[in-house]
Structure 1
Amino acid sequence: MSEKRDLVLFIAMSLDGYIATKDESLEWLFNVEGEGDNGYSDFYETVDTVLIGKKTYDWMTRHVPGEFPYKNKKCYVFTRSSIEDTEDVKFINDDIVRFTNKLKNQEGRNIWLVGGGELLQSFVEKKLVDEIILTVAPTIIGKGIPLFKEGDYQLDLTLKGTKKYNQFVELHYGVKH
């Protein structure tokens, strides 16, 4: 039997733990001097499947110019609504645990949990995340959308490595199961 695929959260946050401002702006992130693409391309090659929450998908369709950014990957958008699939994404209105475990047991590369906050919270609470690659920006934004919401859960992590991309620091953790 082949090894299970890992579900990886790859995301950036401010030093005070936010992934966006209250009005969903990421401007603070783009004001930080990075190095190249801050490890994005290397990470992107390790995944063949992308999971996104509907709010984040909607934000992307409004704010990311050009063609869909994950065109060459299997892309699933979790939604509570019944929505017609597009050429680029399949909309999933299914039990998160059942759907994700089915994906993890298929052949392939890792699975990227893009976000956003609500979807991430569900994955963390259900203990579906296997790795966290967190890029910290040297910015404090004071308030916004937190990476991790308050809840009834605990994840124990193991530090797998760190990297520096000019002003950004990447922390790579494995989740202890």
Structure 2
Amino acid sequence: MSQRKLVLYIASSLDGYIATDEHNLDWLFNVEGEGDNGYSAFYETVDTILIGRITYDWIMEYEKGVFPYKGKECYVFTRTKQDDNEYVKYISEDVVQFTKVLKNKKGKNIWLLGGGDLFHTFIKEKLVDEIIVTIAPVLLGKGIPLFRDNSFQTLLSLKSTNRFNQFVELHYEVVKKYT
């Protein structure tokens, strides 16, 4: 049985930020895309979503309390114990061990949705298999970086590129044999 892939799927400004310092994404919605910019096709490849607590809270506020990922198995990583609800299970245990077990379960790919601290941990621990980043033609100058400063290197192999009007999607596979 082959292991499920953990895929980081996200949008970024050209200068590498996923949100402003205030967690604002208005800049992203001001760019002219094409259809849903490939979102639906990607969404069909996953059955599980991993979300950091700050990102989850932002999504719920933005969606006015309506959970947008119904029908998917969703886990929210949090440092404080929370009660599960009908859509998400809160995870306060070790994220690395939890994810290794999850990747070995049968199913479709796993979407690493956000946020920045979670990305850093997953990449550092070599849990990410693919990175799909959609670049918006915007320079934010500062904000929440897609990738934090780190003391490790990760080699990627380009799988594909797609253009959605003003957006460019870059799809990479993480090269696991790199040391």
- TM-score interval w.r.t. the shorter chain? over 0.9
- 2:103 corresponds in structure 1 to 104
C-alpha contact (below 8 Å) 2:7/2:132 kept by paired residues? yes
1:67: Cα distance to partner?
A: 2.1
C-alpha contact (below 8 Å) 2:60/2:66 kept by paired residues? no
- Partner of 2:161: helix, strand, or coil? strand
- 2:90 corresponds in structure 1 to 91
- 1:41 corresponds in structure 2 to 40
For structure 2, list consecutive stretches of 5 or more residues without a partner in the other structure. none
Q: Deviations over 1:120-154 (max 9, x none)?
A: 11111111100000000011011100000001221
1:163 maps to a residue whose letter is N
C-alpha contact (below 8 Å) 2:6/2:103 kept by paired residues? yes
1:68 aligns with 2:51: no
Percent identical pairs in the alignment equals 61
1:14 aligns with 2:13: yes
2:44 maps to a residue whose letter is E
Which 4+ runs in 1 deviate beyond 3 A?
none
Matched residues in 2 for 1:152 and 1:82: separation? 31
Matched residues in 2 for 1:145 and 1:67: separation? 25
Matched residues in 2 for 1:88 and 1:135: separation? 27
Q: 1:149-160 maps to which residues of 2 (within 5 A)? A: 149-160=148-159
1:65: Cα distance to partner?
A: 3.0
Aligned length: 176
C-alpha contact (below 8 Å) 2:5/2:109 kept by paired residues? yes
For structure 1, list consecutive stretches of 5 or more residues without a partner in the other structure. none
2:125 maps to a residue whose letter is K
Q: Which moved more, 1:91-100 or 1:29-38?
A: 91-100
Matched residues in 1 for 2:65 and 2:76: separation? 19
- Partner of 1:77: helix, strand, or coil? strand
1:89 maps to a residue whose letter is V
Matched residues in 2 for 1:137 and 1:110: separation? 25
1:97 maps to a residue whose letter is V
The alignment's C-alpha RMSD in Å is 0.8
TM-score (norm 2): 0.96
- Partner of 1:81: helix, strand, or coil? coil
